[in-house]
Amino acid sequence: MVEITLTTIAAYGSFPAACKLGCSGVISTVAAGLIYGNYGAQTGMSPSTRVASEIFWECAGFALNSLIFLLMGLEIQLNTLWTSWPMIVIAYLAITFARGLVVFGTPGLRRPAQR
């Protein structure tokens, strides 16, 4: 549990520390995560602690992503959404068409495998 607490402190503590130093808080948080994931978990944790830490961060990530989308949904004003529906439909169709073009069109660009 101590290691999981330390990873939480490193992730969320690096943000205000970097801002205080005049650096990017987001980049410092990403750097803390990369250091933890690539170095700290392999050298400083037992296998059972590593598994528990991964489970904790998966659950925390899911919960925070859910919270972000919930808060975004609460910011939507239905009258603005209703007046913009034609543009929303056009954007949806354009994105779906472009996605289909990329998914089904790019395999033909590959060179055939040489035997």
Q: Is the pLDDT of residue 112 over 70?
A: no
Q: Which residue range(s) make up the domain with 41?
A: 2-78
Structure tokens at 36: 């933890």
Does residue 111 lie in a domain region? no
Does residue 96 lie in a domain region? no
Distance between the two ends of the chain, CA-based, in angstroms? 53
Does residue 10 lie in a domain region? yes
Bin 30: left if φ > 0, else alpha if -120 < ψ < 50, else beta: alpha
Does residue 103 lie in a domain region? no
CA 7 to chain centre: 17
Q: Are 44 and 2 in contact (CB under 8 A)?
A: no
Q: Is the pLDDT of residue 109 over 80?
A: no
Q: Residues 24, 18, 71, 8: is their CA dihedral positive or negative?
A: positive
Radius of gyration for the chain, computed over Cα atoms and rounded to the nearest angstrom: 22
pLDDT value, residue 65: 94
State the average pLDDT for the chain.
87
Number of domains in the chain: 1
Bin 112: left if φ > 0, else alpha if -120 < ψ < 50, else beta: beta
Does residue 66 lie in a domain region? yes
Q: 11-61, pLDDT tens digit by residue?
A: 889 999 999 999 999 999 999 888 887 777 777 778 888 888 889 889 998
pLDDT value, residue 114: 64
Most confident of 44-53, 76-85, 95-104: 95-104
